[in-house]
Structure 1
């Protein structure tokens, strides 16, 4: 249940990129994107930052894969672009991560601190990987974390449910897009 959202909160959207759009998930991608666009609208209305995070192999993670002689990832840059079904603007923050955690070896924390952000609302795919990895790091960095449960999904229902039922309640508050919008209208 969402009871409070900091007045200095950013919306952080995880891995809603072309390659992820093509992968199977347990919920309707159209519903996920619709709810995500509703969140984007309320954050724009409140003039709060929106962060689009994509994942692309690179950094120390990719070097470790190469050293282990693991298969290469495709060079097709289009795969790593944020889907055109989301309402992005040039003033949004765009972060490319290389691991599950959007804070590791990226500028995300610096971008949020520069804007005096104290809370984040998280959404995206996959619940148990990129969203959870980022949430754990955000909590460790002292952010107040809220989760938009109907604006995220996973490839595996058990993993999705596990994150929502057991991990996220230890990190922050979880609610629907409408719950978040209701609280944000009071900011």
Structure 2
């Protein structure tokens, strides 16, 4: 349950990009994008920072390491990193390209948030158990108050989505719906 949002809270949306959004998800993608757009509008109207994160794993060290599930070697489409048209970004939003699951690792995200005195973040995006959870873990380690917009995120694996929501996120922050979060902005 979302009890409150810090006065300086940023919205951080993970990997809502054209190259990631294809495929089945735990929640209907249209609903996730609609809720993400409502959060963006709400944060813009409140004068709070909006962070739009995409991923471009090309050449990152983790893509070359041994693991059971290998990354497909297929060529990415030209629009792979482009943010979905449904997400209403502005030029003054913070845009971050990550190369791993964690939007803080080897990016300027923490510095950008610190410049704006941000102490809390609201997270949404895809995939719940990968990019959102990876970023949430780092945010919690850095001392941010973390809130999860549960209806503005999804995962390709329903069980993984539910595991993050039920067992992982309660250890790092508070969870609620887009409506819950927008009500706390007022």
Q: Structure 1: which 4+ aligned runs deviate by more than 6 Å? A: 66-70
Task: Point out where structure 1 has 5 or more consecutive residues left out of the alignment.
Answer: none
Q: Does the aligned pair in 1 maintain the 2:60–2:100 contact within 8 Å?
A: no
Closer/same/farther in 2, CA of residues 125 and 71 from structure 1, 3 Å limit: closer
Q: By how many angstroms is 1:73 displaced?
A: 5.0
Higher helix share: 1
Q: Does the aligned pair in 1 maintain the 2:19–2:77 contact within 8 Å?
A: no
* CA distance in structure 2 between the partners assigned to 1:119 and 1:77 by the alignment: 34
State the match for 1:126 in structure 2. Answer: 127
* CA distance in structure 2 between the partners assigned to 1:71 and 1:13 by the alignment: 25
> Where in structure 2 are the equivalents of 1:28-177 lying within 5 Å?
28-58=28-58, 60-61=60-61, 65=64, 72=73, 74-177=75-178
Q: By how many angstroms is 1:71 displaced?
A: 5.2
Q: By how many angstroms is 1:74 displaced?
A: 2.2
The two structures have a TM-score, normalised by structure 2, of: 0.93
Q: By how many angstroms is 1:60 displaced?
A: 4.1
* CA distance in structure 2 between the partners assigned to 1:61 and 1:17 by the alignment: 22
1:13 matches 2:33? no
Closer/same/farther in 2, CA of residues 95 and 182 from structure 1, 3 Å limit: same
Q: Does the aligned pair in 2 maintain the 1:61–1:98 contact within 8 Å?
A: no
Q: Does the aligned pair in 2 maintain the 1:102–1:108 contact within 8 Å?
A: yes
* CA distance in structure 2 between the partners assigned to 1:132 and 1:146 by the alignment: 12
Closer/same/farther in 2, CA of residues 10 and 67 from structure 1, 3 Å limit: same
* CA distance in structure 2 between the partners assigned to 1:121 and 1:71 by the alignment: 31
Q: How well do the aligned residues superpose, as a CA RMSD in angstroms?
A: 1.9
